[in-house]
Structure 1
């Protein structure tokens, strides 16, 4: 993997996730009713054989560029299907002469884990795009049982934005409690809790200008998570690390944690690179590392969010590395004073 400079802004690919029945399709339909959605392509996927969501979405706009993944949950049936769906959207758009999309939205099944989808998208090389994850959170049912916790935690911790839905049916205390749930899972995410449905949809899918450099306050925010099954850790290196060693450590971390690894993000000093390098991973999938500008001063280290992993496990894992490669790992689950 080669360290590259940040690219110019390109059209967005928005991954819309959220638990079953949390209002993803309603949010998407609300957005598609707005004039600013005109240059939007949609891919809809469901776990069942009958693509009900696709029918609902397409019924609102007959001119909507949309394709369906009707062969099961997208995270379980990737192959070339997702790539073919994107190709189909782009081909239809090209033939229509309407110009390029400003965004493509993939609405996933409520059972979908973000990591495998991102892994597939990273292999798609026929168009450039910026990737963003939006997750819905039902104000009437914000908690989850043990069976669905792995999926829900993966969706929420991966999200750039968490959209609280069904607000018109909720009391003020329910809204506050749901925002607290969102904050506990992912304090770094933007929380959107707007009662007006069109305003909520507009905020959820509004264009972004790319990600701002990491700052020390982001570490403190991420470290505020206090869910009993989520561990938040900070890995820090005493000096600049050779890129090959850092890459091996990250790959081994992904292999060690498997699907328990939810998020890895932070700045690291790399030997031979004058700027700090941004490492950003969702699950076991990592984006291309990016050199950050000279103003990216502050604390260096990687925030690791994992499910059902404790400090002793990570410490033992890192102990196998030499002293110049091994980071100091500490538990950061409580907010810094």
Structure 2
């Protein structure tokens, strides 16, 4: 396969059932010019891909592919990789410029961490992967029965889009904004009444977004968002980078699905190391300019996890813990 000459912005569009994913994507397609460099992959858990059929009506000449009869984070992981490869190869055979972006609309039941893990088979494409989650302000998804999926989707997102805001009062909108911020202090929250502006901001190219190198502990909000969801902060005492990485891997192995997201900044003599996970799937480590304070810190967003579960995991350095919801 001939790789594209530059990286592709790959968007994972996730969110609970009925939270407005297809509407958000449909608005984007309405605004796209025919033949633009956007491709869309739609996944639904049922045999009939209804969302895919809806989007085809709005495609305006764009490429739409569907994955049906399974969840992309489970049985369809290999199908996703082959579909992306086929899209890129077909584009090259037609002597067209590479795609600027590929958007995967996931089933409302999908777990983002497993989707990110499946994309590891496309690492040679150097795609910039971003996760967008829709949040229905009229029916707060944290009250739903599928809490594990909702929590995983919200905590994994770089961008959370508040939807149906015209159907709520100021208090409900404020509550939605607050809960999202407490669960995912790393996310950019898009709150726009205009559907076109909302869509444009949600799908802003990753290359246009400033790199977030803010130490995690600067962005935390000290409040509880849900009794089963916790944000824990760990301050590490002068860890060796190798020991710190081993410790993070041990935590992901011990917590498993209870770990929703992790973000760690490990201080080193010349460069700091940024480590992140979506679920238990690690992103590639990033070297950053050393932060002035030189502190090593890790933030864990968890579901059904007590602080004792974390403190009992051995490590080669001292750690001081704080439960951000207390």
Query: So what's the TM-score if we normalise by structure 2?
Result: 0.90
Q: Secondary structure at the match of 1:182?
A: helix
Tell me which residue corresponds to 2:192. 194
Q: Secondary structure at the match of 1:132?
A: strand
Unaligned runs of 5+ in 1: 1-7
Q: Secondary structure at the match of 1:58?
A: helix
- Tell me, in whole angstroms, the C-alpha distance in 1 between the residues paired with 2:54 and 2:64: 12
Partners of 2:32 and 2:60 within 8 A in 1 = no
Report whether the alignment pairs 1:309 with 2:305: yes
Report whether the alignment pairs 1:91 with 2:89: yes
Report whether the alignment pairs 1:18 with 2:49: no
Tell me which residue corresponds to 2:282. 286
Report whether the alignment pairs 1:247 with 2:238: no
Question: Aligned ranges for residues 116-195 of structure 1 at < 5 Å?
Answer: 116-145=114-143, 147-195=145-193
Q: Give how far 1:211 is off.
A: 5.3
Unaligned runs of 5+ in 2: none
Deviation track 1:257-280 (CA, whole Å, cap 9, x = no partner) reads: 01000111121035xx62010011
Q: Give how far 1:61 is off.
A: 2.0
Tell me which residue corresponds to 1:100. 98
Tell me which residue corresponds to 2:27. 30
Q: Give how far 1:237 is off.
A: 2.3
Q: Paired residues, what number? A: 319
Change (3 A) 1:225 1:12: farther
Deviation track 1:231-270 (CA, whole Å, cap 9, x = no partner) reads: 2222232214141x33322221111101000111121035
- Tell me, in whole angstroms, the C-alpha distance in 2 between the residues paired with 1:98 and 1:334: 51
Partners of 2:241 and 2:266 within 8 A in 1 = no
- Tell me, in whole angstroms, the C-alpha distance in 2 between the residues paired with 1:36 and 1:280: 35
- Over the aligned positions, Cα root-mean-square deviation in angstroms equals 2.2
Partners of 2:73 and 2:118 within 8 A in 1 = no
Partners of 1:139 and 1:174 within 8 A in 2 = yes
Deviation track 1:128-180 (CA, whole Å, cap 9, x = no partner) reads: 21110000001111143463111111100111111011223333333222212
Tell me which residue corresponds to 1:5. none
Change (3 A) 1:48 1:200: same
Partners of 1:49 and 1:70 within 8 A in 2 = yes
Deviation track 1:281-326 (CA, whole Å, cap 9, x = no partner) reads: 11101111111024565532111111111111211123xx3xxx24
Tell me which residue corresponds to 1:328. 319
Q: Give how far 1:213 is off.
A: 4.4
Question: Aligned ranges for residues 194-233 of structure 1 at < 5 Å?
Answer: 194-209=192-207, 212-216=211-215, 218-227=216-225, 228-233=227-232
Change (3 A) 1:225 1:212: farther
Partners of 1:231 and 1:331 within 8 A in 2 = no
Question: Aligned ranges for residues 32-51 of structure 1 at < 5 Å?
Answer: 32-35=29-32, 38-51=36-49
